[in-house]
């Protein structure tokens, strides 16, 4: 989103759609094969851990002409039944017609290389845009996308069975980002929880859906400068509307919820 435990798939943090670039399906390596946990949020507490997460607020379109106003209210952001709940609502708020929430680990939990994983149940509906992604540190200083962006999971309501994976960097960003996608054989992503993950090292980035490899990128394959060799932080958000998904329509039901069971970060064992 630019300024947009069978086999676990994970990434390490220092912490929109592009062309299809599917690869042969493989099973992601399990934790027994060279990974160790370095940080996790299981969302089992009563309140969001503010030593790990910042809450972003505002309704200025977020570079995508989004329609929501992100808030820190419990109506939009809370922990409930051992999960993070990000809830989008149709309501008048500070000049916007919708509210939702967006959180990030910037300045608190940042990582270079690793394996990032989240178990998420996304919502469904026209104009609904859930995302789990990584953004390069100091992005606000350098300007987007100079520090890079790794979209681990994005979904737009008009394509309910498809998870998108995209890299954004200098010369390849927004609609020209270097991307791939994975479509379920049957059903919608919103029907159940799924595990979205990425593995990132100095030579390659690999994307997995429920342990199945479906996209990869390297310095040799991206159509521009490789800017994925420094710290990145995690972002979770639920946008409403925007250039890519379009606005909600009369059939879009509110409220909509994005449920996050956990976020985990791993590094290679030494």
Q: Note the pLDDT tens digit of each residue in 78-117.
A: 999 999 999 999 999 999 999 999 999 999 999 999 999 9
Contact 77, 55 (CB under 8 A): yes
Query: What pLDDT is stored for residue 34 in this prediction?
Result: 87
Predicted pLDDT of residue 32 = 54
> In the chain, how many domains are there?
1
What's residue 104's pLDDT?
Answer: 98
Residue 57 lies in a domain: yes
Phi, psi of 170 (to 5 degrees): -60, 120
Label the pairing between strands 162-168 and 178-183.
antiparallel
**Angle 103-246-20 from CA coordinates, rounded to 5°:** 85
CB 231 within 8 A of CB 111: yes
Q: How far apart are CA 140 and CA 117, in angstroms?
A: 25
Indicate which residue of 117, 154, 159, 199 is catalytic: 154
In 3D, which of 7, 4, 47, 258 has the Cα closest to residue 133?
4
Q: Rounded mean pLDDT of 201-209?
A: 98
What's the pLDDT at 254? 98
Q: Which two tokens stand for residue 165?
A: 């994976």
CA atoms within 13 A on the CB side of 208: 24
List 66, 68, 110, 149, catalytic entry: 149
Q: Among this protein's residues, is 154 annotated catalytic?
A: yes
Query: Does residue 66 have an active-site annotation?
Result: no
Q: What is the pLDDT of residue 139?
A: 76
244 occurs within a structural domain:
yes
- Give the CATH number, domain containing residue 211: 2.60.120.200
Residue 1 pLDDT: 61
What's the predicted TM-score (pTM) here? Answer: 0.89
Give 160-202 pLDDT, tens digit per residue: 999 999 999 999 999 999 999 999 999 999 999 999 999 999 9
Inform me whether the pLDDT recorded for 122 exceeds 90: yes
pLDDT at 270: 80
DSSP-assigned beta bridge partners for residue 215: 207
Assigned domain for 22 exists: no
Residue 174: strand, helix, or coil: helix
CA pair distance 163, 250, nearest whole angstrom: 24
Assess if residue 144 is contained within a domain: yes
Question: Would you say residue 183 lies in a domain?
Answer: yes
* Residue at 63 is within a domain: yes
Domain that holds residue 209: 35-268
- Work out the average pLDDT over 32-55: 94
Summarize the confidence of residues 206-210 as an average pLDDT.
Answer: 98
Q: In this predicted structure, what is the pLDDT of residue 23?
A: 41
* Residue at 42 is within a domain: yes
**Is residue 212 included in any domain, yes or no?**
yes
């Amino acid at each position: 989103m630019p300024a947009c435990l069978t086999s676990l798939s994970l990434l390490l943090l220092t912490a929109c759609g592009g062309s299809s670039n599917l690869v042969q399906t493989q099973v992601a390596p399990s934790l027994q094969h060279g990974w160790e946990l370095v940080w996790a949020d299981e969302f089992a507490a009563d309140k969001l851990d503010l030593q790990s997460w910042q809450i972003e607020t505002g309704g200025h379109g977020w570079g995508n002409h989004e329609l929501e106003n992100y808030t820190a209210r419990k109506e939009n952001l809370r922990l409930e039944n051992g999960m993070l709940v990000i809830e989008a609502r149709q309501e008048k708020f500070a000049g916007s017609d919708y509210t939702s929430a967006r959180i990030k680990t910037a300045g608190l939990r940042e990582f270079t290389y690793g394996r990032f994983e989240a178990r998420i149940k996304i919502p469904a509906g026209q104009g609904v845009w859930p995302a789990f992604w990584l953004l390069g540190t100091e992005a606000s200083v350098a300007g987007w996308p100079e520090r890079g962006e790794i979209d681990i999971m994005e979904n737009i309501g008009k394509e309910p069975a498809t998870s998108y994976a995209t890299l954004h960097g200098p010369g390849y960003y927004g609609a020209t980002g270097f991307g791939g996608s994975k479509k379920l054989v049957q059903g919608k992503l919103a029907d159940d929880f799924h595990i979205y993950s990425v593995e990132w090292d100095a030579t390659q980035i690999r994307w997995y859906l429920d342990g199945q490899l479906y996209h990869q990128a390297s310095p040799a394959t991206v159509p521009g400068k490789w800017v994925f060799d420094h710290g990145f932080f995690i972002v979770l958000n639920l946008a409403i509307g925007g250039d890519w998904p379009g606005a909600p329509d009369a059939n879009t039901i509110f409220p909509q919820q994005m449920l996050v069971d956990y976020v985990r970060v791993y590094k290679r064992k030494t």
